[in-house]
Amino acid sequence: MPGFADQYGIEYGLPEADEIWRGRARTFAQETLAANAQRLDREGRFSRRIVAALGEAGLIGAGLSEPTGGGASTLAACAIAEEIGAVDGSARGFLAVQAGLVLAPLSTFANDTLRERWVPGLIAGTSIGACCLTEPGAGSDLGAIATTITEEGDEVVIRGEKVWITNGGVADILLVFGTVDTKARTRGLECYAVPADTEGVHTEPMPGNELGHRASDHARVVFKDVRVPKTNRIGGERSGFSIAMFGLEDGRLNVASGAVGVHRACLEQSIRFARSRRQFGRRIGDFQQVGATLADMDVELRAARLLVHQAARLKDRGLDNAHAVSAAKLYATEAALRAATNAIQLHGSRGYNDELPLERHYRDVIALTIYEGTSNVQRVILSRNLLGKDEGRGE
């Protein structure tokens, strides 16, 4: 069956080189992910084979510069995330962490030894990375991170607890954020690369059954007197917050692109159903209320994709895109959640079980409005940028 883009002539407007990446990701999603996504979700199983296949297809390191990475533009990386996200939210979530939160900072800020040791395997999908920011007492508020980093000779000692760490239980390398000065909040943060087999690293699955992303690995990771060389620091002294923001900007754009993919999948399936399902002697799509829902889903999809592409194009032109990334993440993830809800309503009872992937998309997409900065946090960033500093404060 032709895709939505082919059937309805959506203009992606991608340059030829980016279109090649999009096509490659689309083929991969349809040939490798589509056959497994529903089963892995039902089994709640993380698949290393999918990771290796993503690496083999060149999709993990696509956005990193050549010769190590694929040299694709940010726009192409977004198109890849959209295609993967349209089929498999767990695989797209893996990609956001491995490419955005781990590879981007590691390949940009780590020393040569760390880069040579870890980057090729992470790109190939033979190694797995995780990014450890969140703690029981520090979610949106990274200044509250309580994991401590203490210098001892040529080493640092890391002590603390991280939760909700994607890939945490399967990772080979962990990027761990801790503080060297608990009173300094974000200005005291540093980031260290910690091999997962280092003595004192303990991981266990998050307790409870998760709503979505069931084919992902989410772990609690405890660091008990974990020693690594000082040279394992990523970036400079007390640069942890800017390293986190660097990774999160990449990751947030990946999440927003994945949301566009979910949205598109929900709309495509809804159009198919609205054309074929008949009630009261006609196609349900011909009832004005159903048609209007489809029209709204279409407009919101186009708007979300434009926001994502605008943020990507700014980065590709070397311009600051932080505000645009927050706008894209906020809008695209919330629009995708509305689209998933509408798609299930529109399918009636047929949307309510896992014969179709809609209920999986619905369960998966909620997390996109939470991780890598909740919707409220994106609103905080946007409004803070709009208002600027309060010059009259303290008067």
Ligand X SMILES: Cc1cc2nc3c(=O)[nH]c(=O)nc-3n(C[C@H](O)[C@H](O)[C@H](O)COP(=O)(O)OP(=O)(O)OC[C@H]3O[C@@H](n4cnc5c(N)ncnc54)[C@H](O)[C@@H]3O)c2cc1C
Active site residue 161: no
User: Given the complex with ligand X, which of 50 and 131 has the nearer CB atom?
Assistant: 131
Identified catalytic residue from 135, 155, 372, 391: 372
For residue 90 the two structure tokens come to: 């767990």
Query: In terms of CB distance, is 5 or 370 closer to ligand X?
Result: 370
Q: Identity (one letter) of the amino acid at 174?
A: L
Q: Which of 224, 237, 239, 240 is nearest to 151 (CA)?
A: 237
User: What residues make contact with ligand X under the rule CB under 6 A?
Assistant: 97, 131-134, 139-140, 164-166, 213, 218, 367, 370-371, 374, 376-377, 380
Minimum CB distance to ligand X, residue 346 (Å): 26
Whichever of 166 and 333 has its CB closer to ligand X, that residue is: 166
- Cβ nearer to ligand X, comparing 103 with 346: 103
Helices marked H in the chain: 4-8, 16-28, 34-43, 48-56, 74-85, 89-95, 104-109, 112-124, 240-276, 288-316, 322-347, 358-368, 375-387
Backbone angles phi, psi at 141, to 5 degrees: -95, 90
CB of 141 to ligand X, least distance (A): 6
Please state, in angstroms and rounded to a whole number, the distance separating the CA atoms of residues 103 and 91: 16
Q: Determine the Cα–Cα distance for residues 157 and 149; give it in Å rounded to an integer.
A: 6
Closest separation in Å from C-beta 97 to ligand X? 5
Measured CA to CA in angstroms, residue 318 lies from 18, 74, 253, 322, 393 at distances of: 17, 11, 15, 12, 34
Residue nearest to ligand X (CB): 139
CB of 296 to ligand X, least distance (A): 25
Peptide bond into 136 cis (omega under 30): no
- Closest to ligand X by CB, 328 vs 330, is 330
Q: What is the nearest approach in angstroms of ligand X to the Cβ of residue 246?
A: 15
Q: Which residues are catalytic?
A: 372
